[in-house]
Structures are given as structure tokens and as C-alpha cells.
């Protein structure tokens, strides 16, 4: 592990070399990890553990997810079970179904917990907003969190590439005295690259804010705004899409990811450099209060309640598909589907 210093703020980073495979297997040798759910996180984390030889079972309802698990080589009665039998087998229960699904299944999962078991989350939602979810673990279990900083698809892809995704970790409840080592061992067993410590509350507050802002909501809104302005001023769909989305995602953002924004400023034209430096503070000034409002709504539990209420509606799936269809059929993303295959090698 190493201590990093960022302008006087020190953090401990735990690296994969701190938890080599033999150490992880020693810590987890008597554990059965039961993963409930086979969405992107459940699938990615489960396959990564299975590939490394850990004792892992999947718990699912029969249906599309069950069929996907069969395609991935999980064997019914061996390492693939329905939800309750899998939960009863687990000494570490990875609760990786949707937030709404966790609320509905909590009475069953709670009944399957034995003293000394560990209840594992990849999101702090259920625990932090317990007044809304009613998810309150019994006091005689460990409660752990490992939150990969990316989708379950990335968890799997980066593991297969021999790298690993960074993740945060937290212990909410340490009944056994071994909660930290169980948490960290499992974090590397699922394919993490390095770890930084958080709390359940900090994880969920930052995660929900990020999803609504720069990870998805804000970026989609910014793309729409610029694309629509360019189109309104007579630019073609191809030009508007390339200047808004294609150049950002294919050219500039990967360079920023690799080298930082300071490097980007130093390696672009003086015209682009001057314009970006002048306009960035104006966008910051406009966006800071909006992001602050979003963070306040998250922390107050308003966003979690909105999500719970929406997912509880009988027509939610139908309504969601309508919203997603509107995005899919918008001119900007229609242009994307037409133009992406024209990339070299596409």
C-alpha cells in the first residue's frame, strides 16, 4: 500500500500487489460467496471470481438472467441456484440486484443471514437510505462495500485485459473482527486494480451526484445543447455531431484521460487554448450552483425517494422504454449510429 499526497491531503491506496492471489485465497478459503443478481456488476464480478477459482455461486430467478448465466457456463445445482437457496449457501452474500429489487427481496435475504456472515454491497443506497428502503442488517454480521468505479462491463473487460478497475471500499459493520480483510480480499477477487477507502454515505452521495452530473445527466444535456445550437445555425447533422460528440469521445477525452487537462491546453492550438481558458470559468460559475443543488437533493434523500417511487410504479418499465426511445430516435444519436461505422476500421 502507499500513501499519496494531493496538495496536503493524504490518502492510503491499497494496490493489487498488497493482496496477491495466494493471500486472497487464504483469507477466503472457508468462504462461499453467493452473488445475488446477474446484471452487469453481478456478471462481471462473478465471472472474475470464478475464473480465479474462488468458491462462488450465483442466485437468480429463472428467466433472461438465468439463461444468460447458462450461456456463460454456470451449472444449475453446482454454482447456479435460485435466489433463496444461493443466499442460504453464502457466507459472503453479494447483494448486487437493483436498488428497487434489494428493497423487495430484503426480508428473504435477512432471513438467510447467519451470525458471522458478511453482507456485501457495491452501492451504499440500501444502507444509507434505510428509512426509505428498510434495509437494516442484524448486528451479528459484517457489512461491507466494494464499489468499482465503472460499469460491470468494465469490471469484466479490464480484468480480461490483465489490468483491473479502481474501486472504493468501506466497512459499515465489523462483527467478526475480520470485516476489513474479507472486504479487501473480495475486492481484489472481483478484479479491482487498486482501492481507496470511503464510507457508505460518501459513496452513495458521490455516486448519485456523478450519475446525474458529469457521468451521464450533465454530459447528455451538454451534448444536446451544443448539437441543437449548431443545427439551429445551419450546420449539418454530420458536422454538428462530429464537433459535439465524435471529436470529444474519440480524440480529446481519451487524451485528457491519459495526460490531464493541463497537457491538453499545452498541446492544442493557441486559438483553442485561449477560448477554452476564457470560457471554462464561465461554465464553472453556471454549473457549480446546479451541481450543489443536485448534491443537496441527493444528500437529503430526495433523489433516492424519486428513484424508489419511479421504480415502484406498475408502468415504470413502459415509461422508461418510452424515454429511452426518445433519446435513441433523436437526430443527434441517429447521426451517431450512421456515422460511427464510418470510422476507420468501423
Q: Is 197 exposed, middle or buried (0-12, 13-18, 19+ CB in 10 A)?
A: middle
DSSP per-residue letters across 150-202: S-HHHHHHHHHTT--EEEEEEEEE-SSS-HHHHHHHHHHHTTEEEEEE--HHH
**Protein fold of 2-198:** Rossmann fold (3.40.50)
pLDDT score of 1: 83
Tell me the domain boundaries of the chain.
Answer: 2-198, 210-342
DSSP state of 246: I
pLDDT score of 149: 93
pLDDT score of 275: 96
Of 345, 343, 344, 346, give the one whose Cα is nearest residue 246: 343
Per-residue pLDDT of the chain (346 residues; tens, 9 = 90+): 899 899 999 999 999 999 999 999 999 999 999 999 999 999 999 999 999 999 999 999 999 999 999 999 999 999 999 999 999 999 999 999 988 899 999 999 999 999 999 999 999 999 999 999 999 999 999 999 999 998 899 999 999 999 999 999 999 999 999 999 999 999 999 999 999 999 999 999 999 999 999 999 999 999 999 999 999 999 999 999 999 999 999 999 999 999 999 999 999 999 999 999 999 999 999 999 999 999 999 999 999 999 999 988 989 999 999 999 999 999 999 999 999 999 887 6
Q: List the beta bridge partners of residue 9.
A: 6
3-state secondary structure at position 2: strand
Backbone angles phi, psi at 178, to 5 degrees: -115, 10
pLDDT score of 160: 94
Decide the pairing of beta strands 165-173 and 192-197: parallel
Helix crossing, 217-232 with 200-212: angle to 10°?
A: 10
Q: Which of 123, 194, 233, 235 is catalytic?
A: 123
Handedness of CA 186, 301, 198, 221 (dihedral sign): positive
pLDDT score of 346: 61
Contact 175, 119 (CB under 8 A): no
123 is catalytic: yes
Q: Over the stretch 212-235, which tens digit does the pLDDT of each residue have? A: 999 999 999 999 999 999 999 999
The backbone region for 177, taken as left when phi is positive above 0, alpha when psi lies in -120 to 50, beta otherwise, is left
Contact 187, 28 (CB under 8 A): no
Q: Provide the grid cell at 156.
A: 469484466
pLDDT score of 247: 95
**DSSP H helical segments within the chain, as ranges?**
21-27, 40-51, 64-71, 83-89, 99-112, 125-128, 130-133, 152-160, 179-189, 200-212, 217-232, 237-241, 253-259, 261-266, 270-299, 302-312, 316-328, 331-339
pTM for the model: 0.90
Q: Provide the grid cell at 305.
A: 425517494
Amino acid at each position: 500500500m502507499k500513501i499519496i499526497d494531493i496538495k496536503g491531503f493524504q490518502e492510503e491506496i491499497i494496490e493489487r500487489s498488497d493482496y496477491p492471489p495466494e493471500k486472497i485465497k487464504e483469507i477466503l478459503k472457508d468462504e462461499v460467496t453467493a452473488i445475488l443478481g446477474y446484471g452487469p456488476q453481478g456478471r462481471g464480478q462473478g465471472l472474475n471470481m470464478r475464473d480465479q477459482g474462488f468458491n462462488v455461486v450465483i442466485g437468480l430467478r429463472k428467466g433472461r438472467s438465468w439463461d444468460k448465466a447458462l450461456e456463460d457456463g454456470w451449472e444449475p445445482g453446482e454454482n447456479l441456484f435460485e435466489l433463496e437457496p444461493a443466499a442460504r449457501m453464502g457466507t459472503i452474500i453479494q447483494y448486487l440486484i437493483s436498488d428497487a429489487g434489494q428493497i423487495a427481496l430484503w426480508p428473504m435475504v435477512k432471513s438467510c443471514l447467519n451470525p458471522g456472515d458478511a453482507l456485501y454491497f457495491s452501492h451504499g443506497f440500501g444502507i444509507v437510505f434505510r428509512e426509505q428502503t428498510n434495509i437494516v442488517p442484524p448486528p451479528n454480521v459484517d457489512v461491507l462495500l466494494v464499489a468499482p468505479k465503472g460499469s460491470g462491463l468494465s469490471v469484466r473487460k479490464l480484468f480480461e485485459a490483465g489490468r483491473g478497475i479502481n474501486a472504493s471500499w468501506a466497512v459499515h459493520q465489523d462483527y467478526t473482527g475480520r470485516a476489513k480483510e474479507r472486504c479487501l480480499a473480495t475486492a481484489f477477487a472481483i478484479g479491482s486494480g487498486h482501492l481507496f477507502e470511503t464510507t457508505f454515505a460518501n459513496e452513495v452521495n458521490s455516486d448519485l451526484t456523478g450519475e446525474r452530473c458529469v457521468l451521464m445527466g450533465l454530459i447528455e444535456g451538454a451534448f444536446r445543447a451544443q448539437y441543437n445550437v449548431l443545427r439551429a445555425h445551419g450546420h449539418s447533422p454530420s458536422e454538428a455531431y462530429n464537433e459535439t460528440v465524435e471529436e470529444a469521445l474519440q480524440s480529446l477525452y481519451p487524451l485528457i484521460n491519459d495526460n490531464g487537462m493541463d497537457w491538453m491546453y499545452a498541446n492544442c492550438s493557441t486559438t483553442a487554448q485561449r477560448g477554452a481558458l476564457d470560457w471554462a470559468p464561465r461554465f464553472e460559475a453556471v454549473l457549480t450552483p446546479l451541481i450543489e443543488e443536485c448534491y443537496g437533493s441527493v444528500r437529503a434523500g430526495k433523489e433516492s425517494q424519486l428513484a424508489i417511487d419511479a421504480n415502484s410504479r406498475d408502468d415504470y418499465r413502459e415509461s422508461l422504454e418510452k424515454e429511452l426511445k426518445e433519446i435513441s430516435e433523436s437526430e443527434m444519436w441517429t447521426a451517431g449510429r450512421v456515422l460511427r461505422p464510418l470510422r476507420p476500421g468501423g
